[in-house]
Amino acid sequence: MIKFEYKAIDSQGNVSQGSVEAVNQEKARMLVFEMGLDIVDMKEAREQSGSVHAGRVSKADVENFTRELANLLTAGVPLSKALNILVRETAKPACKKNWSMLSDFVSAGMSLADSMRKLPRVFSPVHVAMVQAGETGGFLDLVLAQIAEFRSREQDLMGRVKAAMFYPLTLAVLCASILVFLLIYFVPRFSRIFESFGGKLPALTQYIVSLSSMVIDYWMLIVGVIVILVLAVRNYLNRDEGRLTLERLTLKTPLIGKLVARFAFVRFSRMLGTLSGSGVPLVATLIVAKESIGNRVLSNRVDGTIKKVKGGMTLAASLADCKEFFPGSVIEMIAVAEETGRLDKELVRVSEAYEKELDRQLKMAVSMAEPLMLFIMAVVVGTVVVGMLLPIFSLQELIK
- Alpha-carbon torsion, ordered 254, 256, 261, 262, to 10 deg: 110
For 152, other C-beta atoms within 10 Å of its C-beta total 16
The sign of the torsion formed by the CA atoms of 128, 130, 136, 141 equals negative
Q: What is the model's pTM?
A: 0.64
Delineate the domains of the chain, giving CATH numbers in brackets: 2-48 (3.10.20), 59-123 (1.20.81.30)
For 265, other C-beta atoms within 10 Å of its C-beta total 22
Edge-to-edge strands, sheet with 38-44: 15-22, 2-9, 38-44
pLDDT in tens, the chain (400 residues): 567 777 777 777 677 777 877 756 667 777 887 787 777 677 766 544 455 556 678 888 888 999 999 999 989 999 999 999 999 988 888 888 889 989 988 888 888 988 888 888 888 877 887 788 788 778 888 888 878 887 787 777 677 767 767 777 888 888 888 888 888 888 888 777 776 666 677 788 888 888 888 888 888 898 899 999 999 998 888 887 888 888 888 888 887 888 888 888 888 888 888 778 777 788 888 887 887 787 778 888 787 888 888 888 888 888 877 776 777 888 888 888 888 888 888 888 888 888 888 878 877 877 777 788 888 888 888 888 888 777 777 665 555 5
Q: Nearest 5 degrees, angle CA 280-CA 281-CA 284?
A: 90
Residue 45's identity, in one-letter code, is A
Residue 81 · residue 73 · CB < 8 Å = no
Residue 23's identity, in one-letter code, is V
Distance CA 51, CA 44 (A): 10
Residue 207 · residue 396 · CB < 8 Å = no
| Exposure b/e, 348-379, CB count within 10 A at least 16 = b | bebbeebbeebeebbeebbeebeeebeeebee
> Per DSSP, what are the bridge partners of residue 15?
9
Distance CA 208, CA 341 (A): 69
pLDDT of residue 198: 62
Residue 274 · residue 342 · CB < 8 Å = no
Return contacts of 200-204, CB within 8 angstroms, 24+ apart.
201/390, 201/391, 202/387, 202/390, 202/391, 204/383, 204/386, 204/387, 204/390
pLDDT of residue 227: 93
Residue 356 · residue 266 · CB < 8 Å = no
- Alpha-carbon torsion, ordered 179, 181, 187, 193, to 10 deg: -160
Residue 300 · residue 266 · CB < 8 Å = no
Distance CA 284, CA 143 (A): 11
pLDDT of residue 246: 87
